[in-house]
Amino acid sequence: MGTVSRDAGTVDRRRPTLLHHWLVVRAIFRRDFISYFRYPLNFIFSLISPFVWALPVLFMARAFSTGARNEGFAAYTGTSDYVAFFVIGGLVTSYVGSVMWGMGFSLRQEMWQGVLETNWLTPAPIVVQLIGRSLWSLAITTFEGIGILAIAWALFRFSFTGHILPALLAMIPVLIGLYGLGFGIAAVVLVTNNANTVIDLTNYSVQLLSGSQFPVRVLPRVLLAVSLFIPLTYGMDAIRGYLLGTKTLLPPSIEMAILLAVMVCFVAAGYLIFRKVERDVRTAGNLAFH
Amino acid sequence: MATIRAAALRSRALPRPSLAAAIWAAAWRELKIFIRYPAWFIAMLIWPSLFPLGYIFTSRALAGPSGEGLARYVSFTGTTDYVSYILTGTVIWMWLNTMLWNFGNTLRTEQQRGTLEANWLAPVPKWFLLAGNLLVDAAQWLLFLVVGGVEFYFLYGLRVHGSPLLLSLVLLASLPSIYGLGLIFASLVLWAKDIQKAVDAVRGTMMVFCGMTYPIAVLPAWMQSISHWLPLTHSIRATRAVVAGQGWTAVSGDMAFLLVSGFLLSAGGLITFRATERTIQRRGSLGEY
């Protein structure tokens, strides 16, 4: 961080260390924390809204089910517990939305509020700032996820019959890979100046095609081919396989290997794209245009 | 004295404040902003057919490869055509959703941009901002309906078996209740100061209680009794009836409910807006966000 040395009056241009990055991330997290609780309705709606999104699907499943069992669904997946299947998909994809909105939409908000250029001028690397922006969003998503699990269990009674530890391990490459996607989305927001449409469409399409609500086997061939190119499909499939014993697309160990490889590629590609776009908008001087 | 007279003459020369001109100016501005961001056009093309897909594929999975789950579905809905059932529900819900975003954002975005106080000083009733937005929103909705109709016809094979005129009447009867709700919503957003969560709460509630993708018979009894009081339930039910080929007698009850609730919600919307206007002016919190 460039700090002015009092005795010499010169600028300290040492390379920023991990500690400096941590301080930046912590400051952004604190700012988002304060902003979040400054709007008390935010907190209440955060508890309600994810569940409200889940209920239409869960009630729709009821229209096809006899008691707690869904035989049609079991024929596709090997489990008749649609609620458990859906809850896992919902939890995993909520992190997708969290990273996308946390990194993409916050840029847009700063454009509106007129502080984007100012924040960009600080010596804190913009990539670190973006990561900081996503962290509060991830924390809230985790909190909401626990709430959803509790309420869904109380109302619909599902159970995880498999192994939790490998499922949690499978989440790690999924989450890290998502940051690559987040950098890409942030780049698109800088280019288009339109966060809502870009994030909404991408988020929904990824959720849809990765099978957050249904087994991807029901997709028509063209869409299934697209779905198999989305790493999240394998992540969700592996997690469900571990937790529910569902039929997986590939053996879980192969799905994990795919996830690890894709994680590295996504983060590298997302970072490079973002840096390129950042250079372009700075050269064009339209960073804060909205 | 001469200066005062000159000022009086100048003030007489100023055009009289016109509400219609203010509404038109607000509508024209919204339209220009809308056109300035071309990504919205892409969204308008994609969303009508993309949004129902998740529910349609979920239904396909729940029905099973050989239709194992369909018998139960038929006992609730009277049809095996879950695609049409979902499409009609989602298209009405998307109308509400777009309206909530547009109306909620009208005042909230101006707060964030810092232009609300300046526009509030216009010497006309303050609801001109929302009225201008209503014109643009209605035009967008019409475009959305046409685009969605074409996509549903070709992509999903949706056919309207009933009278198109009756279908138009059902949509017209839904108009006052939807925009009345929008007026209330826009006022409340000024209090809540958070559009995202407020939209999520209202659209989510409607999604759950109005039977967008399922028959309300699957809801617990207490939820069914709430859903009967929501205008969107009646809009969706009447639209589904007409699409399935039923006539006036099947939808007359829903139409009557929509007209009465539309009147009440519109009146409630104006009262809420006026109350909000008075309160925030008294507190001086108009520009706060």
What's the complex ipTM? Answer: 0.79
A65 touches chain B (CB under 8 A): yes
- Please tell me the predicted confidence (pLDDT) of residue B15: 65
Is it the case that residue B125 has pLDDT exceeding 70?
yes
Distance CA A269, CA A180 (A): 7
A286 touches chain B (CB under 8 A): no
Residue A246 carries which DSSP code?
Answer: P
User: Which range among A142-146, A259-263, B79-83 shows the weakest confidence by mean pLDDT?
Assistant: A142-146
Give the chain A residue nearest B192 (alpha carbons). A41
pLDDT in tens, A128-138: 888 888 888 88
Mean residue pLDDT of chain B comes to 85
Q: Treating both helix axes as pointing N-terminal to C-terminal, what angle do A126-156 and A106-113 enclose, rounded to 10 degrees?
A: 120
Tokens standing for residue B284: 């001086």
B78: left (phi over 0), alpha (psi -120 to 50) or beta: left
Distance CA B110, CA B117 (A): 8
B10 pLDDT tier (thresholds 50, 70, 90)? low
Provide the shortest C-alpha distance from residue A128 to chain B (in Å): 26
A3 pLDDT tier (thresholds 50, 70, 90)? very low
Residue B126 located in a structural domain: yes
Please report which residue ranges of B66-114 form alpha helices under DSSP H: 70-77, 82-113
- Please tell me the predicted confidence (pLDDT) of residue A14: 64
B262 pLDDT tier (thresholds 50, 70, 90)? very high
Residues 6+ apart with CB under 8 A from A72: A64, B61, B62, B63, B64, B65, B66, B67, B68, B69, B70
Strand partners, A3: A12
Q: φ, ψ for residue A69 (rounded to 5)?
A: -100, 145
Handedness of CA B27, B29, B35, B38 (dihedral sign): negative
SS3 A12: strand
C-beta of residue A70 within 8 angstroms of C-beta of residue A158: no
User: Which range among A25-29, A44-48, B2-6, B191-195 shows the weakest confidence by mean pLDDT?
Assistant: B2-6
pLDDT in tens, A56-108: 888 998 899 877 678 888 888 888 888 899 989 988 888 888 887 777 777 77
Handedness of CA A146, A148, A154, A159 (dihedral sign): negative
Distance CA A232, CA A93 (A): 9
Percent of chain A with pLDDT over 90: 14
Contact A70 B54 (CB under 8 A): no
- Please tell me the predicted confidence (pLDDT) of residue A4: 43
Average pLDDT over residues B254-279: 91
Write down the residue that tokens 């057919």 correspond to: B49
Name the more confident of B209 and A143: B209
Average pLDDT over residues A14-43: 81
Is it the case that residue B6 has pLDDT exceeding 80?
no
C-beta of residue A42 within 8 angstroms of C-beta of residue A27: no
Environment class of B268 (CB within 10 Å of its CB; exposed 0-12, middle 13-18, buried 19+): middle
Which among A49, A201, A207 has CB closest to B46? Answer: A201
**A218 interaction partners in chain B (CB closer than 8 Å):** 57, 60-61
SS3 B229: coil
Name the more confident of A194 and B275: B275
Residue B174 located in a structural domain: yes
Contact A72 B64 (CB under 8 A): yes
| Number of domains making up chain B | 1
pTM score, whole prediction: 0.78
First-to-last alpha carbon distance for chain B, in angstroms, is 45
**B285 interaction partners in chain A (CB closer than 8 Å):** none
B contact residues 253-282, partner A, Cβ 8 Å cutoff: none
pLDDT in tens, A215-246: 999 999 999 999 998 888 999 999 999 999 88
Q: Where are the domains of chain A?
A: 11-284
Distance CA A163, CA A167 (A): 7
Average pLDDT over residues B26-35: 85
Tokens standing for residue B133: 């937005």
Residue B169 located in a structural domain: yes
Residue B24 located in a structural domain: no
Is it the case that residue B39 has pLDDT exceeding 80?
no
Residue B2 located in a structural domain: no
- Please tell me the predicted confidence (pLDDT) of residue A223: 92
Closest alpha carbon to A29 in A130, A116, A113, A100:
A130
Provide the shortest C-alpha distance from residue B199 to chain A (in Å): 10
- Please tell me the predicted confidence (pLDDT) of residue A188: 82
**A70 interaction partners in chain B (CB closer than 8 Å):** 62, 69
Provide the CB-side half-sphere exposure for B41 (13 A, CA): 7
Tokens standing for residue B271: 């009262």
- Rounded alpha-carbon distances, angstroms, from residue B181 to A101, B7, B190, B196, B271: 27, 44, 15, 17, 12
B contact residues 34-53, partner A, Cβ 8 Å cutoff: 37, 39-40, 42-43, 46-47, 50-51, 53
Residue of B40, B42, B46, B58 to mutate, testing the A interface (most A Cβ within 10 Å of its Cβ): B58
Is it the case that residue B253 has pLDDT exceeding 90?
yes
C-beta of residue B171 within 8 angstroms of C-beta of residue B255: no
C-beta of residue B20 within 8 angstroms of C-beta of residue B119: no
- Please tell me the predicted confidence (pLDDT) of residue B135: 87
Contact A39 B194 (CB under 8 A): yes
Mean residue pLDDT of chain A comes to 82
SS3 A81: coil
**B218 interaction partners in chain A (CB closer than 8 Å):** 59-60, 62-63
Distance CA A88, CA A242 (A): 11
pLDDT in tens, B147-182: 888 989 998 888 889 999 999 999 999 999 998 998
Provide the shortest C-alpha distance from residue B106 to chain A (in Å): 14
Which range of residues forms the domain containing residue B85?
42-282
Is it the case that residue A7 has pLDDT exceeding 70?
no
SS3 B17: coil
Q: Which amino acid is at B162?
A: G
pLDDT in tens, B60-115: 999 988 888 888 888 888 888 999 999 999 999 998 888 888 887 777 778 777 78
Provide the shortest C-alpha distance from residue B53 to chain A (in Å): 8
Q: Radius of gyration over alpha carbons of chain B, in Å?
A: 22
Query: Residue B90's CB: how many other CB atoms inside 10 A?
Result: 25
A contact residues 205-224, partner B, Cβ 8 Å cutoff: 205, 207-208, 213-215, 218-219
Environment class of A16 (CB within 10 Å of its CB; exposed 0-12, middle 13-18, buried 19+): middle
First-to-last alpha carbon distance for chain A, in angstroms, is 29
Tokens standing for residue A259: 């996830």
Q: Which amino acid is at B19?
A: L
Percent of chain B with pLDDT over 70: 92
Is it the case that residue A197 has pLDDT exceeding 50?
yes
